Amino acid sequence: MERFIQVLVDGIATGSIYAAVALALVLIFRSTGIVNFAQGEMAMFSTFVAWGLYEAGLPIGLAVLTTLALSFVAGVVIERVLIRHFEGGEVLTLVIVTLGLFILLNGLAGWIWGFGNRGFPSLFSDETVELGGVTLSVESLGIVAVLLGVVGLLFLLFQRTKVGLAMRAAALNPDASALVGVRVGSMLMLGWGLAAALGALAGVLVAPRLFLDVNLMGAVLIYAFAAAALGGFDSAIGAVVGGWVIGVSENLAGTYVDFIGADLKILVPLAIIFVVLLVRPSGLFGTREVARV
Amino acid sequence: MSPRVRLAVICVLAAGAVAIPFLFGPYRVGQFTLVLVYAVAVLGLNLLVGYSGQISLGHGAFFALGAYTAALLIEKASVPYLLAVPAAGALCFAAGFLFGVPALRLHGLYLALVTLGLAIALPQLIKRFDGLTEGTQGLTVEQPEAPGWLGIEDDQFLYLLCLAVTAVMFLLAWSMMRGQLGRAVKAVRDGPIAASTLGVDLAAVKTRVFAVSAGYAGVGGALYVFAIGFVAPEAFTLTVSFAFLAAIVVGGLATISGALFGALFIEFVPVYAADVNVALTGVIYGGVLIAFMWVLPGGAAGLPRRLRELAAGRDRERPEGPRGGELHEEDADRVAGTAGHAGAGAGGLRA
């Protein structure tokens, strides 16, 4: 039983990381209608930057905060310089462009930092705590706490501030928002900046659990896609719930189903994406898609 | 181009293609053999992405499936290698069909997601079933040898063999896209609702294209086994799928000839890029995907037309994806219709 609860909590912790990436995907999808395939590689790149700052002597906390700020700026710049040109174009074009960004960032990271892997320091201590007779790692609990904190902040931003209201308006109806004075372009840049920072956060959280290399986020991205598909691509709550479900089911399947083991864990999110899209394409919390004839 | 000029150009190109193995050394001939191999797979992907407007990021998986089918048939079942090619193609066609039946319900983005997952999962599956596939160790396969009466070297024979298969596959694609299937496919891409009112069965057409496209990747995979003589999971990572995608974008979406440009690109760019830095290939692939979408959505095959457009000083079109050079010529009268459709497509996804 103790083992089961440990697996469960560990699943929720991993799931929180997937949820952070999924939230970033949802942020961009809601504002620009683009599924950003480069989200994971942007996060990987940010994580390398954090590693570089840490190696240069910054304390890890400060290195991460600096990285989040830099990632935000990078996200804003990417939207303005690259994505703006293609917005409103065909799905195929957008997929190819964000995928191009994916491959480009992966190559650049390999060029700058090489293809070897390296350890990444954790933000949390490696101690464990006893909760109700079950031994849990501080790291797992810390990751969950960070995610909940981020979700709380995002909620406040979107529901309680004027900027958040403007962002929602710009996403819902760009033309009408522009007419009432919302600067739609700035809102889109803000959305990409927030998403990039969120991804960076997921990167620095996941890196201590894996090794930091250029393929750090490859699998994470697929899990995050599964989370977003499960929750509904336009639902923030869905992204969080989806992330947790994916994280827990991945860990349970990997631990208790012999056939799956560590090798085939990647099939779990794939199967989930497939089933969800066939049974309920809008996801658990998403808005049903309506085609206009 | 008038039909007569076009015929002349094709004849010259064909003569050049046949002459290649007698003009270059074995190393170069091997590279050109791989170009032919990639061209088949790239053409398959272009039938799907360029002509039907569906996105697959996982054609490396079908390429791998074809390669392993051929390798296992030749090595473990002692099937003659010429039979392994259609067998690999047929199996991938069937696999594509089975995968396509549920997948065709997922349009646009979701199909991209699922196929991306497929490409990531397949190397793991190959490793998992190591009893059959020998896992990470890989499988060595005997390569076809030139029959003695021909009096040519093995590498030359291999090249000509691949050339023959590739030529057949190109002719097949060309006649398919000119025929009823091709018209239905383009109609589904450019106006699905209009097409369905005209009696085109959207689901059936999409599944068929997906299956045909997977079959092409499978044939390419089988030829790859001939050319390399070895298969291992490491050869079929996500990079392969990305390379194919880069190839169709560089060559030109919705063009038959573009597949050859694209295949040349993905064979030779990594070779020269590796001299500078191993990471340069990725940088170039990523860069060209973005750059081509930005300035040259028609790809290399669409270049002459694009130059004419620029010379005529026409307004730059917004990049709208699958509208390559050949298509512009055939369907010039339809351009007004497609522009309206682009908006409807984006709106539908965002809703």
Q: Where are the domains of chain A?
A: 2-216
Residue B62 has pLDDT above 90, yes or no: yes
User: What separation in angstroms does the CA of B207 have from each of A147, A197, B69, B214?
Assistant: 41, 40, 22, 10
Query: Distance from first CA to last CA of chain A, Å, rounded?
Result: 54
Q: CB of A194 within 8 A of CB of A72? A: yes
Contact A121, A60 (CB under 8 A): yes
pLDDT per position as a tens digit, A3-60: 888 889 989 999 999 999 999 999 998 888 788 999 999 999 999 999 999 999 999 9
| Sole residue written with tokens 């683009």 | A34
DSSP 8-state symbol, B331: T
CB contact under 8 A, A90 and B282: no
**pLDDT attached to residue B313:** 66
Q: Which helix (H) or strand (E) holds A241?
A: helix A236-256
B338: pLDDT strictly greater than 50: no
- Say how far apart CA B10 and CA B244 lie, in whole Å: 24
Q: Cβ contact (<8 Å) for B350 and A33?
A: yes
User: Residue A134: what are its φ and ψ, rounded to 5°?
Assistant: -115, 135
3-state class of A135 per DSSP? strand
How confident is the model at residue B198, as a pLDDT? Answer: 83
What is the residue-averaged pLDDT of chain B? 82
pLDDT of residue A261: 66
Per-residue model confidence as pLDDT tens digits over B189-214: 888 888 888 888 888 888 888 999 99
A159 burial class (0-12, 13-18, 19+ CB within 10 angstroms)? exposed
The CA–CA distances, whole Å, from B275 to B57, B256, B270 equal 28, 31, 9
Local mean pLDDT, 10-residue blocks, chain A (293 residues): 86 93 92 88 96 93 95 95 86 88 93 90 85 83 93 91 90 88 90 94 92 88 90 88 92 78 76 82 76 57
φ and ψ of A196, to 5 deg: -65, -40
* B279 vs B342: which has the higher pLDDT: B279
- Which of B:122-141 have CB within 8 Å of A? 124-125, 127-128
pLDDT single digits (tens) B134-168: 877 888 888 888 887 887 888 899 999 999 999 99
Q: Across all residues in chain A, what is the average pLDDT?
A: 88
Query: What percentage of chain B exceeds 90 in pLDDT?
Result: 28
Please, what's the b/e burial string for A68-93 (b: 16 or more CB within 10 A of its CB; e: otherwise)?
Answer: bebbbebbbebbbebbeebbbbbbbb
> What pLDDT shows up at residue A32?
80
* pLDDT reported for residue A292: 58
Q: Are strands A134-137 and B230-231 parallel, antiparallel or unpaired?
A: unpaired
**Residues 91-110, chain B: which have Cβ within 8 Å of A?**
102, 105-106, 108-110
Q: What is the pLDDT of residue B133?
A: 80
Rounded CA-CA distance A151/A26 in Å is: 13
| Whether B277 contacts A107, CB under 8 Å | no
Give me the DSSP letters along B223-258. HHHHHHSEE-GGGGSHHHHHHHHHHHHHH-TT-STH
User: What are the chain B neighbours of A267 within 8 Å (beta carbons)?
Assistant: 121, 124-125
Residues of B in contact with A270 (CB under 8 A): 114, 117-118, 121
pLDDT of B32: 94
Domain borders along chain B are 27-339
The alpha carbon of residue B259 and the mean position of all alpha carbons in its chain are separated, in whole angstroms, by 6
With b for 16 or more beta-carbon neighbours within 10 A and e for fewer, the B41-56 pattern comes to bbbbbbbbbbbbbbbb
Assigned fold of B27-339:
ABC transporter involved in vitamin B12 uptake, BtuC (1.10.3470)
Report pTM: 0.85
Question: Which pLDDT value is given to residue A254?
Answer: 79
pLDDT tens for B286-303 read 998 899 888 877 777 777
Q: Quote the minimal CA–CA distance from A106 to chain B in Å.
A: 7
Nearest partner of B260 among B53, B34, B4, judged by Cα: B34
Q: Which residue of B has its CA nearest to A230?
A: B110
State yes or no: pLDDT of B341 exceeds 70: no
Q: For the complex shown, is ipTM > 0.90?
A: no
Q: What pLDDT was estimated at residue B326?
A: 39
Distance CA B260, CA B108 (A): 26
Chain B residues touching residue A115 (CB < 8 angstroms): 278-279
The predicted structure's pLDDT at residue B89 = 94
Radius of gyration of chain B (CA): 20
| 3-state secondary structure at position B140 | strand
Q: Is A124 on the interface with B (CB under 8 A)?
A: no
